Amino acid sequence: MQQSSESPAAADSSPGAVIDWAALGRIRELEEYFSADAEGFQAAIRAEMATITALPAEQLDKLALLRVLEVTNGCLQWGFRRGDAEALSADRTRDCMRTVIGFINDRSIILPDGGRVSFSPAVIRMIGEGQALYREAFKRNDAEARRRYFAASTAQFLVYGKPRMEAAMEQIATAFEPLFERFWLERGQRWIRPYLAAQTTVDSGS
């Protein structure tokens, strides 16, 4: 791979963070895209980042919550399909899927305490576009759509940044442990953390 861990910081990444592109290239689901065309895939990620960075901070906070829910549910669903020992029952697995898909379809998150997380019109459009891209990538098995999906997914983690994502993971774990159980919440966190580790915070005073 033609990458360097000394790559300069992306101007539109999480404030004060330098992206380690080589570390991103070692993430299993991204390896093929960096190996095939590291420069082109970086450009695709940066283009997605530019769009996300334009959103207000409060919308990024909310999107981080949704991303944690999506990842947790995805890990749980794959665990059930693989027949993992820790997999939930078929009924509980369906409940998790229906809950998260319901949030995505309704463009809002209903918290167990009755609170509602709502999104701006611009973010609602973005969520819809993400759904359409997911269907192209994984339901219709389109290779280029899958590449765009992973570029967009990576951009989300990079723009949201580690502090915001850690806060979102903590909030979702506290609110939704009865639904997902601790094991699958932690599995989702482990899936996310390599993306967060690929950013290094720079001391602006140095």
Instruction: Give the model's pLDDT for residue 200.
Output: 82
Given a cut of 70, the residues of the chain with pLDDT beneath it are 1-16, 202-206
| Beta partners for residue 116, in sequence order | 110
Read off the pTM: 0.89
- Convert the pLDDT of each residue in 165-177 to its tens digit: 999 999 999 999 9
CB atoms within 10 A of CB 42: 21
Long-range contacts of 56-60 (CB under 8 A, 24+ apart): 56/120, 59/119, 59/120, 59/122, 59/123, 60/159, 60/160, 60/164
